[in-house]
Structure 1
Amino acid sequence: MAETSNTQVEADAIAVDLADDGDSILESDNASSTASLTSSVLAFRKINGRTYQNFRTSVEYWAPNDEVQNEGLDINHQMMLMMNDNKLYRSPIGPNPQRVLDVGTGTGIWVVDFADEHPSAEVIGTDVSPIQPTWVPPNVKFELDDAKATPWPYPDNHFDLVHMRLLTGSISDWVAVYKEILRVLKPGGWFEHTEYDCDFASDDNSHPPGAALRQWGALFTEAGEKVGQRFDVAKDQRLLKWMKEAGFTAIKEHPFKLPLGSWPKDPKMKEIGNFNLVMTDRSLEGFALYLFTQVLGWSVEETHVYIAKGRKELRDRSIHGYYAGITVCGQKPNEE
């Protein structure tokens, strides 16, 4: 049986029991055994009508794990496939990777696609929420684990690729996590990390000065400072700097822009913009609700008014908005 910190979840075996409205994620109990962990972790917390993970008291992940939010994650996956010309990764790992780890796997869709593409590879996805499918390829395994709880339960020099996407606001010490990734990678193995900037931008300044979405990045940064997390990780080459500090080499940056809506003239970017608009519109409440009400002290009513303004701006074709993203790939040095 797996250790408590790395329990493989059989989500279809246990019914989800929702706690009362108003409970805080931070009030969940630490489990003392595998059985109690499995039982408690599937009793998702319910806050303001949305459900959240219930893994440990040390886990403070801010986004919901319910169906609405998970649909947004799957739409995001398809959007990133379009952005990357239908490629799941950018790292030059070769045609036959043997062991691959996806950290913060979410719905597990990247893991399943990678496993289908590489049937000889063992592909593991970890997350603090047991929301992954149970019918998966035979070379897929999902495990319950907190990325910032180091050391990880994997041996040294084990993986060919470690993949991470959209963990902003969930890691307090990024360099420590990067160093753990370096440890579990094989010499010559690759680490790939993708994050989005939480600032909504427009190159032509078409966001009016009082626009709700112009405040978005500052509000998330403020909330992150209050809980000891960072929401500005995609800025100022931070991922690149942290990779260098951790000891990675051959580091490459791949910046990109994700338009919001169909305003781009380029057909590919127009399609990406439509996907992004649907994903952002569907996810906006989940992005804001916990942080604004539980951390920044807003009322639920104030938060919903703000979200409504933001959704209206998303549909305004005169606003040529986007948010910036960055993918950074780094290699573990060969032993020689």
Structure 2
Amino acid sequence: MADPVPERKPEPEPEGGPAAETAGEGRIQVEPGVADDFNDSDSLYSWSDDSSSTQSLYSAITRHVYDNGRRYHSYRQGAYWGPNDEIAQENLDLYHHVFTMMLGGRLYLAPIQPDSQRVLDLGTGTGIWAMDFADDHPSASVIATDLSPIQPSLVPPNLEFQIDDFCEQWTFSPLASFDFIHARCIYGCVADYPALYSEVLAHLKPGAWFEHAEISVVPRCDDGSLAGTSLERWGPLALEAGVKFGKSFGIAEDVEDLMTAAGFVNIKKHVFPWPIGPWPRDRDLKSIGGYNRLGWQQGLEGWALYLFTKYLGWSIEEVQVLLAQIRRELNNPSIHSYQNVPC
């Protein structure tokens, strides 16, 4: 966790002060009704302000594109690597459950005040975290943003979903107005973390908190059982794909240093191990490992298809062979792999 530095003369660091918790090769098909050139963000400002143009804009934002049999967002097409179809949404919700298990039923670690009034969730995905938070904090006004319009319409009255790119310049007003900003699993989303963290700092109240939780994409083990496996290959390949995509997948390893450089203070970093498979003896870790293995089995294709075919030059067949090998290894109880999860 770390405090944002307020825009005023430096003062001695207060106890419990402002803080931030770190914690295809196939042809892209556009769903009917979506303009092929909509990925040009400047087009947002060139349309006339009439009902026809408004409806066209709404349709373009709320529809989707297809590639290699998976569905992706159309608004700022290509800015995010992951699919947004039903399989991907189920995977996101599964990992929300794993995070909640990891935190002992809690939604966050930051010591925010129970009467926090304004809260922002970056990259909300299906919106499940924001909905749970809004339910638990009925006095708070919660805003949750994402590139994909996949959130439900029936939500708590104190929650608003916005289709927006949090990597662009923020338009929230006024500055220094949020009591809590939350980000989780935004690996591969951000090209410029200093710019993102600058926006976070500018929009947090003095004394407010930022919590950033990530999952390392690099499987590890402590007994050598990962050596020579396809699962071991996954980490370096994912990191390479992120470099070529221009948005790092190594944020789990870098988040504390980046927060420090951005000017956050009182940083508190907690690192949790997530087994990949139910191999540990510890009951809680065994349960987390079982769900995490399911998440891998369910999510692998969506994690790899777009990045490996577009940025590593792999064929779809090569990707599927690698994924099949990893899926077999996920069921091998002699491989004792895990991931680090900073929060």
**Alignment TM class, shorter chain as reference:** 0.7 to 0.9
Equivalent position of 1:225 in the other structure: 243
Kept in 2: contact 1:162–1:190 (CA 8 A): yes
Secondary structure of the 2:266 match is: strand
1:173 aligns with 2:189: no
1:295 aligns with 2:311: yes
5+ residue gaps, structure 2, are: 1-25, 31-35, 48-53
Q: 2:230 aligns with which of 204, 209, 212?
A: 212
Secondary structure of the 1:271 match is: helix
Give matches, 1:253-332, under 5 Å: 253-327=269-343
Equivalent position of 1:330 in the other structure: none
Give CA-to-partner distance per residue, 1:64-97, whole Å, 9 cap, x none. 0010011011010011111001110110112111
1:84 aligns with 2:103: yes
How far has the Cα of 1:250 moved from its partner? 1.1
Give matches, 1:105-254, under 5 Å: 105-209=124-228, 211-235=229-253, 238-254=254-270
Give CA-to-partner distance per residue, 1:145-199, whole Å, 9 cap, x none. 1111013333201110000000111100001101101111111110000111111
Kept in 1: contact 2:245–2:307 (CA 8 A): no
In structure 2, give the amino acid aligned to 1:86.
G
How far has the Cα of 1:218 moved from its partner? 1.0
In structure 1, give the amino acid aligned to 2:296.
T
Q: 2:71 aligns with which of 25, 30, 51?
A: 51
Name the CA distance, whole Å, in 1 between partners of 2:299 and 2:57.
28
Equivalent position of 2:4 in the other structure: none
Name the CA distance, whole Å, in 2 between partners of 1:208 and 1:324.
18
Equivalent position of 1:8 in the other structure: none
Secondary structure of the 2:95 match is: helix
How far has the Cα of 1:24 moved from its partner? 7.7
Name the CA distance, whole Å, in 2 between partners of 1:213 and 1:39.
40
Give CA-to-partner distance per residue, 1:53-72, whole Å, 9 cap, x none. 11125x52101001001101
Name the CA distance, whole Å, in 2 between partners of 1:90 and 1:152.
27
Secondary structure of the 2:286 match is: helix
Name the CA distance, whole Å, in 1 between partners of 2:112 and 2:172.
23
Name the CA distance, whole Å, in 1 between partners of 2:151 and 2:159.
11
Stretches of 4+ aligned residues off by more than 4 angstroms: 24-28
Bigger relative contact order (CA 8 A; separation at least 6): 2
How far has the Cα of 1:117 moved from its partner? 0.5
Number of residue equivalences = 303
Among all aligned residue pairs of Structure 1 and Structure 2, give the percentage whose two residues are the same amino acid. 45
Name the CA distance, whole Å, in 1 between partners of 2:199 and 2:178.
12
My pick for the range that moved more, 224-233 or 302-311, is 224-233
Kept in 2: contact 1:152–1:180 (CA 8 A): no
Secondary structure of the 1:323 match is: strand
TM-score (norm 2): 0.85
How far has the Cα of 1:243 moved from its partner? 1.5
In structure 2, give the amino acid aligned to 1:23.
I
Equivalent position of 1:23 in the other structure: 28
In structure 1, give the amino acid aligned to 2:273.
K
Equivalent position of 1:40 in the other structure: 60
How far has the Cα of 1:36 moved from its partner? 3.2
Kept in 2: contact 1:103–1:147 (CA 8 A): yes
Larger radius of gyration: 2
Secondary structure of the 1:249 match is: coil
